[in-house]
Amino acid sequence: MSRVAIVGVGQTRYSRESGRSEWQLAVEAISNALTDCGIEPADVDGLVRYSYDNVDEAMIVRSFGLKLRYYSQTGFGGLGAPATLAHAYAAVASGQARVVVCYRSLNGRSTTRYGRAERSLGTGGGDLIATGDRAPSGAFAGPYGMLSPGQVMAMWARRYQWEAGLTEDELAAATGRIAVDQRAYANANPDAVMGGRPLDQTGYLAGRVIATPLRVFDLALETDGAAALVVTDAAIGPRPAVWIRSAIQGLIPYAESIATYGELRNGPTYRSLGSRLLQDAAVRPADLVSASIYDATSVSVLLGLEGYGIYPVNRAARAVIEHGIGPESPLPVNTSGGHLSEAYVHGMNLVIEAVRQVRGESMNQIPRSGPVLVASGPSGLVLTP
Amino acid sequence: MTSPIPPRVVPEESELTAPYWASAMLGRVALQRCLDCGLVWHPPAPSCPAGAAHRIEWFEASGRGRLYSYTVVEHPVHPAVIGALPYLLALVDLDEGPRLICNLVSTDPSDLSADLPVTLSAGPAAGGLTLPVARLDESAR
Ligand SMILES: [Zn+2]
């Protein structure tokens, strides 16, 4: 098996208003990640970024004086988070690069708010133009007022409620437990935007309804910040190496990031991708010590727990009502607070938390050593010590 | 004080999607169908997903379907739809197979459950146009 490791992680402060450009944030996060592993910029020969990122490769190459021999991009928003590491894994394993930096930088609160529609609607002749054929905001969605990711995921939540045979109150008990448990993790994480703000089920239920059945606490934060990771072919630097054991970057019809036309993310194709990811790492779901599951909304966690085989289809909600996703649960999830309560760095902060769990450095460290899952819809990673 | 007329949210059309929108502006749903294998799909695509060489045609759908999911939108994410709040977004699985995004009108959400029959016809879309919207099919309940 090829030996490829994540050796460095770095981030900026997570805030609602950075007061700095996304370029400045990216440079700070990458500098911190290189310092974390003691690698000099001169040794970096690969970059992977999100196609959505406003900070392109040339800006990073200039900022650090890099001489690259490899760069690539991952598409479809948050699916790109584990996928950036999948690209780095492939590039290093094939010898196309020796040291690859993956990054994401966004002023997601002060500039481009993913919970708002202004970024996605064009204007013309006094009208707003809904373009493309994707949801939300595309031509087949925008004219009906489907304009935000939260609205699409509210429809996932309702369908999941029906298919799992839950009442609306039972669904809220499960999604509320996810929001409450992730907030408790955030309360112990000094980097978390919501660190000082406890949340209980009563507070969750009192949250403003955004799109039924989802409330404000079911939705990802909007955050200014950047995060970066360094990947190479050896255990370099002062920190424990985190080995990439398997990676998957799936794409099936209508499975782009916020899909309305295909199967739910606990459907048979997703389960088959999830099971392949674990098989490739020779890991069973019960072996996992913790997981980072992309939580654009709380319901994504329920669907991810089923899509990656942690619970059988339509069973995650009842299991979460009973056990939660906290430190004592069968599989602790999003132990930094996740997108709901730490920060929304488009999945990259979730990858960093998975690395910290494997290293034994999390602010909510799970006291067992073993494989950690990173899952974002049809893209995922298995990491091990 | 008179309030300004809010902007409408209108679809961008292309050569590929023009037949869809020509029907939609009349409250009808046009779909693509494969003449060789019978597959029906939406949104419009340049080829049959089962065979790029297959011959395809447009046809008018029955306008009947079942409720796959819905949400009551209560929080405005754009000024253009504030006047429409709260509105019901729905996903409808058409009898012909494909799923459609639309609004559900004249409906009390407490009546809704999985796979209820709906019919599609011209009505007010939340973005200000008249487009195919869903209504519960009372005759089929
Ligand atoms: Zn065909």
pLDDT value for A1: 57
**In which element (H, E) is residue B34 found?**
strand B30-34
Question: Chain B residues within 8 A (CB-CB) of chain A?
Answer: 7-13, 17, 42-44, 49, 68-75, 77-78, 80-81, 84, 87, 89, 91, 98-103, 109, 113-114, 125-129, 131, 133
Establish if A52 belongs to a structural domain: yes
Establish if A17 belongs to a structural domain: yes
- Which of A121-135, A146-160, A238-252, A282-296 is least confident? A121-135
CB distance A135–B101 less than 8 Å? yes
Which residue(s) pair with B120 in the sheet?
B134
Please name the member of A122, A139, A155 whose beta carbon is closest to the beta carbon of B17. A139
Q: What is the average pLDDT across A159-167? A: 98
pLDDT range class, residue A121, cuts 50, 70, 90: confident
CB distance B100–A117 less than 8 Å? no
Establish if A190 belongs to a structural domain: no
Please name the member of B70, B78, B100 whose beta carbon is closest to the beta carbon of A121. B78
Please answer whether residues A313 and A271 qualify as being in contact, where contact means their C-beta atoms are separated by less than 8 angstroms.
Answer: yes
Q: Give chain B's domains with CATH numbers.
A: 18-140 (2.40.50.840)
Establish if A132 belongs to a structural domain: no
**What predicted TM-score, i.e. pTM, was given to this entire model?**
0.96
Establish if A211 belongs to a structural domain: no
State which amino acid sits at residue A42.
A
Cis peptide before B76 (omega within 30 of 0): no
Does residue B94 register a pLDDT over 70?
yes
pLDDT value for B3: 57
Q: What is the mean pLDDT of chain A?
A: 96
Does residue A188 register a pLDDT over 60?
yes
Q: What is the DSSP letter of A331?
A: S
pLDDT value for A112: 80
pLDDT value for A257: 76
Three-class SS of B67-110: EEEEEEECCCCCHHHHHHCCEEEEEEEECCCCEEEEEECCCCHH
Query: Cα separation of B11 and A33, whole Å?
Result: 43
Integer CA distances (angstroms), A260 to A20, A311, B64, in order: 35, 23, 19
For residue range B108-131, list pLDDT tens digits in order.
898 899 999 999 999 999 999 999
Of A149, A24, A182, the closest CA to residue A79 belongs to A149
Establish if A171 belongs to a structural domain: no
CB distance A159–B43 less than 8 Å? no
Does residue A2 register a pLDDT over 80?
no
Chain B residue at shortest CA distance from A131: B12
State which amino acid sits at residue A346.
H
Q: What is the average pLDDT across B6-27? A: 95
Query: Domain range spanning residue A299?
Result: 5-111+221-384
pLDDT value for B107: 83
Does residue A122 register a pLDDT over 80?
no
* % of chain A exceeding 90 in pLDDT: 90
pLDDT range class, residue B1, cuts 50, 70, 90: very low
pLDDT range class, residue A61, cuts 50, 70, 90: very high
CB distance A117–B78 less than 8 Å? yes
Does residue A118 register a pLDDT over 80?
no
For tokens 């019919």, name the residue: B119
CB distance B99–A147 less than 8 Å? no
Q: What is the average pLDDT across B45-73? A: 97
Q: How far is A135 from chain B (nearest CA, A)?
A: 9
Q: Which A residues, 251 through 310, put their C-beta within 8 Å of a C-beta on chain B?
A: 253, 260-261
For residue range A216-256, list pLDDT tens digits in order.
999 999 999 999 999 999 999 999 999 999 999 999 888 88
State which amino acid sits at residue A198.
P
Please answer whether residues A149 and A114 qualify as being in contact, where contact means their C-beta atoms are separated by less than 8 angstroms.
Answer: yes
Expressed in angstroms and rounded, the spacing between residue B47 Cα and the centre of ligand 1 is: 8
Q: What is the average pLDDT across A123-148? A: 89
Please answer whether residues B116 and B11 qualify as being in contact, where contact means their C-beta atoms are separated by less than 8 angstroms.
Answer: no
Q: What is the mean pLDDT of chain B?
A: 94
Q: How far is A83 from chain B (nearest CA, A)?
A: 26
Establish if A129 belongs to a structural domain: no
Query: Cα separation of A378 and B82, whole Å?
Result: 34
Cβ-based contacts of A146 with chain B (< 8 Å): 89, 101
Please answer whether residues A224 and A361 qualify as being in contact, where contact means their C-beta atoms are separated by less than 8 angstroms.
Answer: no
pLDDT range class, residue A158, cuts 50, 70, 90: very high
Establish if A139 belongs to a structural domain: no
More confident residue, A118 or B65: B65
**Is A344 among the residues known to form the active site?**
yes
Neighbours of ion ligand 1 (CB under 5 A): B 34, 36-37, 39, 48, 50-51, 54
Q: What is the average pLDDT across A35-47? A: 98
Q: What is the average pLDDT across A179-185? A: 98
Q: What is the DSSP letter of A333?
A: B
Calculate the CA dihedral of residues A270, A143, B32, A257 and round it to 10 degrees: -20
pLDDT value for A116: 78
* % of chain A exceeding 70 in pLDDT: 99
Does residue B139 register a pLDDT over 90?
no
Q: How far is B140 from chain A (nearest CA, A)?
A: 20
**Is A71 among the residues known to form the active site?**
no
Count the domains in chain A. Answer: 1
ipTM value for the complex: 0.96
CATH number for position A335:
3.40.47.10
For residue range A71-107, list pLDDT tens digits in order.
999 999 888 899 999 999 999 999 999 999 999 999 9
